């Protein structure tokens, strides 16, 4: 897979964990497992805030890793000891609103509103790419995770953080209704009441409170290096499993979350899925192994 398009944006780095160090990676992340892909936020001068370039290239990086032969898990993290992500870059937000006003000044408010609506839908797709990726996505959070950072994290399959992580659904303090996924995904993760608390107060919660309410599943270490090591260990435990089982489990979980169907209907869905997928060499290998470690072929 060609990651040359990422050269246009140095503060978003994308790599595979290979023995040789390809472009966009750092040697401290060098591993020997090509089944894990990394997307690293690295824009410290703006606290890893997303601007137009990052919104555009982030989903392309996710898709590129997802389509890379052998990759079975994606890890999203941030470089260094600074914030994980401070959300949307306010300069970018101002530019977007100015463009809407320019369109409106030409005499058609409807076209201005359509521009803004379509633009927001595009930003939403950037983080939704994590759900659309067929492989499990782990987000490792160190430092502050604010606004759009929470939107990003909520779209992942597994969230872990360091002891120094903090979280804030900050949009209401900017006179904005959060619109990139937090209000839609968090109720499924932490419940309606807890989401309302965070979104309406914009208060900052600690890693301990995030763990207690189910926003993250593990709190690992005090620094980013320790967190990253723990995230890698978790990722490697996933990629040792059947790739077909990983894909099917993710699909079934998201299907249930997004469906108003009864438990019985969801059981029928997963039965149909397994009727198609259980006839696989992965299952045969597992049965023959009888609990012993086994290596599955790549898709």
Per the annotation, the verdict on 220 as an active-site residue is no
- Tell me the three state secondary structure of residue 80: coil
Let me know if 179 is a catalytic residue.
yes
Q: How far apart are CA 13 and CA 10, in angstroms?
A: 7
How far apart are alpha carbons 207 and 202 in whole angstroms? 16
The one catalytic residue among 88, 103, 141, 190: 88
Residue in 103, 151, 158, 181 annotated catalytic: 151
Euclidean distance between CA atoms 233 and 176, whole angstroms: 38
Whether the CB-CB separation of 222 and 164 falls below 8 Å is answered with yes
- The torsion angles phi and psi of 78, rounded to 5 degrees, stand at -125, 150
Q: Is 2 a catalytic residue?
A: no
The DSSP bridge pattern shows strands 73-78 and 137-141 to be: parallel
Residue among 147, 148, 149, 248 flagged as catalytic: 148
State the Cα–Cα distance between residues 253 and 172, nearest whole angstrom.
Answer: 30
Tell me how far apart the alpha carbons of residues 125 and 138 are, in angstroms, rounded to a whole number.
Answer: 18
Give residue 182's Cα distance to chain centre: 12
Name the helix (H) or strand (E) containing 213.
helix 207-213
Task: Return the beta strands (E) in 10-90 as ranges.
Answer: 12-16, 36-41, 73-78
Active site residue 247: no
Which of left, alpha, beta for 41 (phi over 0: left; psi -120 to 50: alpha)? Answer: beta
Verify whether residue 266 is a known catalytic residue: no
Please identify which of the residues 74, 149, 171, 230 carries the catalytic annotation. 171
Of 56, 125, 179, 223, which residue is the catalytic one?
Answer: 179
CA gap 242, 281 in Å, rounded? 10
Q: What are phi and psi of 265, to 5 degrees?
A: -65, -40
Catalytic residues: 88, 148, 151, 171, 179
């Amino acid at each position: 897979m060609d990651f040359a398009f990422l050269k246009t944006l140095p503060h978003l780095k994308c790599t595979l964990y290979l023995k040789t160090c390809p472009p966009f990676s750092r040697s401290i992340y060098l591993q020997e497992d090509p089944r894990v892909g990394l997307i690293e936020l690295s824009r410290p001068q703006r606290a890893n805030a997303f601007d137009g370039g990052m919104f555009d290239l982030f989903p392309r990086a996710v898709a590129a890793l997802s389509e890379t032969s052998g990759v079975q898990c994606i890890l999203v993290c941030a470089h260094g000891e600074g914030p994980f992500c401070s959300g949307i870059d306010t300069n970018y937000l101002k530019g977007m609103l100015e463009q809407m006003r320019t369109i409106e000044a030409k005499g058609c408010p409807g076209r201005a509103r359509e521009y803004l609506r379509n633009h927001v839908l595009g930003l939403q797709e950037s983080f939704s790419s994590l759900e659309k990726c067929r492989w499990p996505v782990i987000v490792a959070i160190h430092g502050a995770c604010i606004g759009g950072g929470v939107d990003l994290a909520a779209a992942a399959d597994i969230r872990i953080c360091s002891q120094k992580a903090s979280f804030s659904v900050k949009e209401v303090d900017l006179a904005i209704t959060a619109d990139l996924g937090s209000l839609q995904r968090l109720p499924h993760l932490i419940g309606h009441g807890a989401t309302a608390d965070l979104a309406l107060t914009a208060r900052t919660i600690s890693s301990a409170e995030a763990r207690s309410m189910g926003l993250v599943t593990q709190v690992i270490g005090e620094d980013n290096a320790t967190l990253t090591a723990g995230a890698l260990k978790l990722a490697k435990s996933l990629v040792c499993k059947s790739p077909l089982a990983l894909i099917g489990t993710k699909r079934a979980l998201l299907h249930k979350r997004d469906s108003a169907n009864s438990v019985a209907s969801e059981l029928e869905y997963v039965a149909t899925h397994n009727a198609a997928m259980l006839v696989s060499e992965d299952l045969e290998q597992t049965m023959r192994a009888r609990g012993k470690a086994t290596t599955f072929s790549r898709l």
